[in-house]
């Protein structure tokens, strides 16, 4: 029922824009991390370019990933209160409810990503991307937000409490560190390299970085990862919703 | 007469539900005529909420079957959901939305157009005395206001069967009265109302028929008047002067004694509450006018109903 999903998306967007503390965290955290990496650690990290140029795609992903992961908390909150019973008694099922949360998550994260980009430009980030590259960046980032948000929605259904669901946000926040987001993977110990090369954040970071810096980008691995996560998460969440509510 | 068309809004046969070893419902049978108010009366843990959740398609029974609006609650749950509204025990509204936003959202989800949902929201805010609060976020509401909003949300869709799970628990007397008026209006409009309550008075005021449930079973069913005939509406409480007076009184009353507490030398006996009846009882128990120390008259409480009904059950078993 698409109109129910649209109403639900409006509800979730409105509510999440009013969660001021969560909103500020998901904005301040990436910005502070960016400043920290650029001004404190950046001088010591050798990436072949200015460090701010290297690190911005990673920070953007951290921002999008962390913000999307908060969907787990929001879904879990709905599941643990009476409101899900009311929705179900109105024949508003899991798909509409979860799609509403995911849509709100994408709207929220698109906005915070734009803000992080603005800060990055202010501290000296100079991308060389053309219009098409920017569109491609937007596409890859949207795919990433969509994938992480649906995954988070599925996690929110598994978690027994919003506090437990919150654990997922930390997991997602950690992923960029073990990827090419902040430091080149070939500087890591070899046993971590295997993981770092084969987790979704690395191909997505590489795609975004390549597009922004005009160094040539292979977007397909990134899109394949996002598509795979998306399909699995949607399937899992529909099963989980039914199991959780019977 | 409406009774010319006999139709049943809700019927349940042998509903069973257990969680692990804990049996919650142990064969519930119910029949609720369309356009009536039905009250499920029982203490905490009796199985009231589980019954409502099964009838409202939220959980499946382990055994037995139920139909709401003619549709099976398991096989045809989507059809059932198009005819029912459920207001549970815990406020199902968003704290971070205003009262009006909550109502409009639910109106849209119930299939109303945007403008219709707005009109409906205003109507319901007015009806539940929330006009001023309508533009404030629910987080700022008192418990009673939240509950009223929750009930209003349950009425947004204009459905034909309405489930109210303990609708007045936690409400102040004025809000409770307002809720009772709303239920009256609903019935006037031909809606069937199925409510649960812990309060005898509430069941008495609202319900055409009452089922008393205890430990997952219906222990009595009938109109309020029928049930009251099975238990004393008023109770005369006597405190006797000494142990011997207590024994004498207990013997004189026999099984008419509703309660008897040897330690306190207290006995309860049914009365209609009139002065004549109380005087006659006192004369009967205490012809010498020496053995009754004090007396008082109490209205029957839910406890009394339960004591009486569950004791009868055990006696028959």
Q: A90, B110: Cβ pair inside 8 Å?
A: yes
pLDDT surpasses 70 at B158: yes
Q: B94, A82: Cβ pair inside 8 Å?
A: no
Q: Is A191 left (phi over 0), alpha (psi -120 to 50) or beta?
A: alpha
Q: A15, B90: Cβ pair inside 8 Å?
A: no
Weakest-pLDDT range from A66-80, A216-230, B68-82, B254-268: B254-268
Question: B204 and B240: one domain?
Answer: no
> Which structural domain range is residue B288 located in?
232-299
pLDDT in tens, A60-91: 888 888 888 889 999 999 998 889 999 999 99
Question: B221 and B248: one domain?
Answer: no
Whichever domain contains B225, its CATH number is 3.40.50.300
Whichever domain contains B273, its CATH number is 3.30.70
Residue B142 CA to residue B125 CA, distance in Å, equals 15
CA-based nearest distance B61→chain A, Å: 10
Residue environment code for A127-157, b if the CB has 16+ CB neighbours within 10 A, otherwise e: bebeeebeebbebbbbbbbbbbbbbbbbbbb
Q: Is B59 part of a structural domain of the chain?
A: yes
Domain's final residue, options B168, B200, B229: B229
pLDDT in tens, B259-285: 888 888 999 888 888 899 999 999 998
Q: Is B24 part of a structural domain of the chain?
A: yes
Residue environment code for A193-231, b if the CB has 16+ CB neighbours within 10 A, otherwise e: eeebeeebbbbbbbbbbbbbbeeebebeebbebbeebbe
pLDDT surpasses 50 at A218: yes
> Could you tell me if B156 lies within 8 Å of chain A, comparing CB atoms?
no
Q: Is B311 part of a structural domain of the chain?
A: no
Question: B255 and B200: one domain?
Answer: no
Question: B263 and B149: one domain?
Answer: no
Instruction: Point out which residues pair with B295 in neighbouring strands.
Output: B238
- Please tell me which residue of chain A has the smallest CA distance to B88: A82
Question: B30 and B104: one domain?
Answer: yes
Q: What is the ipTM of this complex?
A: 0.86
Residue B286 CA to residue B270 CA, distance in Å, equals 16
Question: B199 and B265: one domain?
Answer: no
Q: CB burial class (10 A; 0-12, 13-18, 19+) of residue A180?
A: buried
If you average pLDDT over residues A210-239, what whole number do you get? 91
Number of domains making up chain B? 2
Query: What does the block give as tokens for B116?
Result: 């219709």
Question: B237 and B224: one domain?
Answer: no
Question: B137 and B203: one domain?
Answer: yes
Higher-scoring residue by pLDDT: B231, B38: B38
Q: Is B309 part of a structural domain of the chain?
A: no
pLDDT in tens, A156-192: 999 989 999 988 888 888 888 888 888 888 888 888 8
Measured between beta carbons, which residues in chain A are less than 8 angstroms from residue B163?
89
pLDDT surpasses 50 at B209: yes
Confidence at residue A29, expressed as pLDDT on a 0 to 100 scale: 85
Question: B44 and B169: one domain?
Answer: yes
Question: B214 and B242: one domain?
Answer: no
Measured between beta carbons, which residues in chain B are less than 8 angstroms from residue A87?
109
């Amino acid at each position: 029922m698409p109109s129910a999903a649209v109403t639900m998306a409006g509800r979730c967007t409105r509510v999440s824009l009013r969660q001021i503390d969560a909103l500020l965290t998901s904005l301040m955290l990436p910005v502070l991390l960016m400043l920290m990496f650029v001004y404190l650690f950046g001088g010591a990290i050798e990436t072949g370019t200015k460090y701010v140029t290297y690190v911005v795609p990673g920070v953007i992903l951290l921002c999008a990933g962390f913000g999307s992961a908060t969907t787990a908390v929001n879904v879990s909150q709905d599941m643990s209160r009476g409101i899900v019973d009311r929705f179900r008694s109105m024949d508003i099922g899991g798909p509409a409810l979860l799609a509403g949360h995911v849509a709100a998550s994408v709207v929220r994260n698109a906005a915070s990503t734009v803000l992080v980009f603005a800060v990055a430009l202010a501290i000296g980030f100079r991308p060389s991307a053309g219009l098409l590259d920017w569109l491609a960046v937007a596409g890859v980032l949207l795919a990433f937000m969509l994938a992480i948000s649906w995954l988070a929605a599925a996690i929110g259904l598994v978690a027994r409490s919003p506090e437990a669901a919150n654990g997922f946000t930390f997991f997602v926040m950690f992923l960029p560190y073990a990827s090419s987001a902040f430091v080149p993977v070939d500087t890591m110990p070899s046993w971590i390299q295997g993981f770092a090369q084969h987790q979704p954040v690395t191909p997505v970071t590489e795609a975004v970085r390549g597009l922004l810096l005009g160094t040539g980008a292979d977007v397909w691995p990134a899109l394949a990862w996002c598509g795979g996560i998306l399909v699995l998460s949607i399937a899992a969440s529909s099963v989980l919703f039914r199991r959780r509510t019977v | 007469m409406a009774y010319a068309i006999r139709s049943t809004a809700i019927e349940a046969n042998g509903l069973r539900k257990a969680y692990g070893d804990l049996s919650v419902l142990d064969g519930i049978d119910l029949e609720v005529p369309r356009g009536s108010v039905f009250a499920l009366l029982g203490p905490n843990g009796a199985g009231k909420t589980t019954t409502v959740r099964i009838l409202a398609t939220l959980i499946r029974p382990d055994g037995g079957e139920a139909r709401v609006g003619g549709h099976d609650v398991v096989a045809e749950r989507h059809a059932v959901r198009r005819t029912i509204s459920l207001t549970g025990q815990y406020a199902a509204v968003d704290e971070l939305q205003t009262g009006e936003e909550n109502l409009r959202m639910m109106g849209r989800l119930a299939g109303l157009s945007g403008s219709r949902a707005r009109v409906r929201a205003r109507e319901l805010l007015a009806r539940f005395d929330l006009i001023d609060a309508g533009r404030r976020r629910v987080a700022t509401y008192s418990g009673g206001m939240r509950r009223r909003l929750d009930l209003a949300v349950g009425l947004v869709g204009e459905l034909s069967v309405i489930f109210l799970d303990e609708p007045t628990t936690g409400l102040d007397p004025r809000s409770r009265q307002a809720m009772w008026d709303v239920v009256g209006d609903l019935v006037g409009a031909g809606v069937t109302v199925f409510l649960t309550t812990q309060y005898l008075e509430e069941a008495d005021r609202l319900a055409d028929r009452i089922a008393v449930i205890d430990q997952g079973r219906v222990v009595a069913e009938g109109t309020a008047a029928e049930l009251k005939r099975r238990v004393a509406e008023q109770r005369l409480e006597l405190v006797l002067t000494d142990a011997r007076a207590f024994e004498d009184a207990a013997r004189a009353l026999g099984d008419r004694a509703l309660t008897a507490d040897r330690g306190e030398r207290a006995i309860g006996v049914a009365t209609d509450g009139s002065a004549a009846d109380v005087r006659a009882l006192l004369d009967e128990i205490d012809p010498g006018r020496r053995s009754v120390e004090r007396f008082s008259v109490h209205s029957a409480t839910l406890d009394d109903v339960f004591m009486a009904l569950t004791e009868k059950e055990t006696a028959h078993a």
